[in-house]
Amino acid sequence: MSLSAAEVNKIAWLARLAIDDDKVEAYARDLSQILGFVEQLGSVDTSRVAPMAHPLDEAQRLRPDTVTETDQRALFQTHAPLVEAGLYLVPKVIE
């Protein structure tokens, strides 16, 4: 499995992750190497194996649908980079 620079850029965009242009080739090389390493998984027949999502195969707990959280917006916004009137500010999205 070998990834091209264009594929790395595509994945980086899916992950919303800026990669410096001069590092794309290095990432392509590293990622290709890692994908090559995990390729050996394909050699095992797992057609009759159920995937294991939880180490103990435990079901998710349920709880009564009652309010357990209090409003802490002001506290949570104290470490936001940019807020105004209780809102998080981002660059203009709609013209």
Query: Which residues lie near other proteins (CB under 8 A)?
Result: 3, 8, 11-20, 27, 30-31, 33-35, 37-42, 44, 46, 49-56, 58, 60-61, 63, 72, 75-76, 78-82, 88, 90-93
Encoding tokens for residue 47? 């057609």
> What is the smallest separation between the CB atom of 65 and other proteins, expressed in angstroms?
14
Termini Cα distance of the chain: 42
> What is the smallest separation between the CB atom of 42 and other proteins, expressed in angstroms?
7
Candidates 4, 49, 46, 50; CA nearest to 27 is 4
